[in-house]
Amino acid sequence: MGVGLLAALIGGGVACGQAALVAGFDSLLPDARGINHFNRPGTLTILSADGQVVHKIGPVTREKLTPETMPALVQQAFIAAEDRRFYQHDGIDPVGIGRAMVRNLRKGSVEEGASTITQQLARTVFLSQDRTLIRKLKEAALAGKLERQLSKPQILTEYLNVVYLGSSAYGVADAAWVYFTKTPDQLTLPEAALIAGLPPAPSVYSPLVNPDLALERRAVVLRRMVEAGFISVSEQQQAEAAPLQLKPAEPKYWDSRAPYFSGWVQQELPKVLSPEQLEVGGLTVRSSVNLAWQEKAQSAVNTYATGSMQGALVAMEPGTGLVRAMVGGTDFKDSQFNRAAQALRSPGSTFKLFVYLTALRQGMLPERVFRDSARCFAGYCPKNFGNRYFGSVSMVMALQNSLNTVAVGLLQELGFDKVIETAKNLGITRELGRFYPLALGATEQTVVDMTAAYAAINNGGIYVKPTPFVEILGPDGELLWSRRVDGDQGRRAVSSDIAALMLWMLEQAVRSGTGGGAALPDRPVAGKTGTSEGGRDLWFIGSIPQLTTGVWLGYDDSRTTRDTSVVATYAWRAFMAPISKDLPVRQFPPKPQLEDTYRRDKKQAERRREPAASTESWREPAPQPLELDPTPSLNEQPYTPDAPASPAAPQPQTPSPPAAPSPAPAPPPPLEAPPPPVVAPPPPP
């Protein structure tokens, strides 16, 4: 009795010691329970604003299955091929090792591997592929832990989801699609056997690379399925006689549904995540892109960028900075260069935003009158479109008709530093030169930066940096970055009253000026056209209260388009008209009632007295607070629109002889109509 009790105590002590040893050793190994979150380094998944997959990048499993959805035929094929005693062993299979050694010696080659499916999963997830004794010992230890923490169906499913099967296919679902354009449950016996034969050398046995070797491997798997009792001999013979019948396809989500946007996401990621976070991989970006809008944006650009012309479009929410659509060219496969985020182009008259906004900040009002006439500024002699000049015009009329001499005169009046400061407050980071062509867009900018500046005016004067990110999740689903917490919260660039006044002026530019082609029938639009010298760049940046969209059209080699920015207004309207149908109609803020408080300081007066290269100099202002030059010269035609933008505009004297009237902007084509003709010049010699 005493001896029996002593033996029991000794046995119990040994068992407890063994359990403690195993538990202590397990604590040194990775936890296997989170294995379903495994991702290879460098993998990235981009989701749209509504959760659709936009793009999967890197060595990523593009579609995963669960134990319940994994077809039995696929499980049997892989068990027969890789680990016949999978359900009998505890991670290491001595019987399988012995059998493999005997078979390989008999055949004189390595025909059967000794690693179990559990060992292969441990190696794939936790270890390298190095052929060392240390790695094999770690692999065996991890296999044991996997068996203790996970069920057999979980282990098999995880293995079948991550095993590399050649031709950029990771997992059986990817392989079924890449080789046969099928889902796993649609695979036939010969197809399942072919895929199950790939793991030992997927690049060699791939039927897309070596079809004869693939057939040989399929025959080996079918024979093993017979030996394992999964299929009959007759089924084996029928499967071996079946031809390959491949139907190759690219892996799912291989091509981005918004390729220029996806490229911008990858470009912006290092700005918000650490190098360590990027290196781990397995990232999921919940992005801002609206795929339906993205499709409309690409269509609009391709419709109006004819021939070899290129185009770009950026649509962003003014209050959040979220970019909802981005197009960087007409065809990503032909050119991956993103003209929305990377190309530096002259913004033309869209840059006048900063000049007029500075004037408003300094106390001027849209009704203040300026003289529009041919003149030079320190040797720089800007010209109006069509070489037409209209005498005395209000500031708002000068903007809506995009009069260049008034914009440059305002730059001279206000000074370079104040205009540059305004531009920098609105997110323009490139160095801006202190020269008069600055007013007309001489310093090149990107479409995304210019669109963000206009969006700030639409956002009550608060600038928010544009971003593609809503949230970024790590490989285990943990939140790494959130726009609400970590994103740009915005900064005050101009007061809300000044922004509302500028927005009202931009609205007149669409209602009665050069931006008329962008007008929408059911809601207000505020925006500005821009055409660089020689018509090399065609711009329109416009807003409705919920969205600001910038459009650029032109050639990569900067040759002339032989057209005007009216074409850009048509492209903007082709995008905005269909997407705005799903947005409620809202109004811009009312025009604020402010007083003209502008007074020239001493430095400005001295600058205005600097000698110019022309006898036409900028005159000192008359005493009236709203006019700088109330009387037109005899050779200038005053601008008298059918519906004056402001009742405060003066009624100038009738000149003689009158100049030809300014041509009205062309009406936009119907939305279903073909684009207006754009004549491309012959290619340069």
At residue 90, the pLDDT reads 86
The reply to whether 55 falls in a domain is: no
User: Distance of CA 234 to CAs 223, 225, 591, Å?
Assistant: 11, 12, 85
Nearest to 262 by CA among 243, 287, 290, 225: 287
The reply to whether 108 falls in a domain is: yes
The reply to whether 343 falls in a domain is: no
The reply to whether 571 falls in a domain is: no
The reply to whether 204 falls in a domain is: yes
- Render the burial of 394-428: b for 16+ CB within 10 Å, e for the rest: bbbbbbbbbbbbbbbbbbbbbbbebbbebbebbbb
The reply to whether 678 falls in a domain is: no
Cis upstream peptide for 657 (omega within 30°): yes
Q: How many domains does the chain have?
A: 1
Maximum CA extent, the chain = 133
| Parts of the chain with a pLDDT under 70 | 1-34, 36-37, 96-114, 127-136, 602-685
3-state SS class at 36: helix
List residues bridging with 472 in a β-sheet. 285, 481
For the segment 524-533, what is each residue's pLDDT rounded down to a tens digit?
999 999 999 8
CA distance 402 to 208: 60
Give the dihedral of Cα atoms 149, 152, 158, 162; nearest 10 deg. Answer: 120
What CATH number does the domain containing 222 carry? 1.10.3810.10
The reply to whether 464 falls in a domain is: no
Give residue 377's region: left, alpha or beta (phi > 0; psi -120 to 50): beta
CA distance 495 to 459: 11
Q: Both tokens of residue 544?
A: 């409705």
Give the structural domain span for 99.
63-241
CA distance 370 to 608: 15
User: Distance of CA 254 to CAs 46, 53, 168, 177, Å?
Assistant: 12, 11, 10, 12
The reply to whether 13 falls in a domain is: no
DSSP H or E segment with residue 312: strand 310-316
Give the angle 552-557-562 at the CA atoms, nearest 5°.
60
At residue 475, the pLDDT reads 86
CA distance 587 to 128: 60
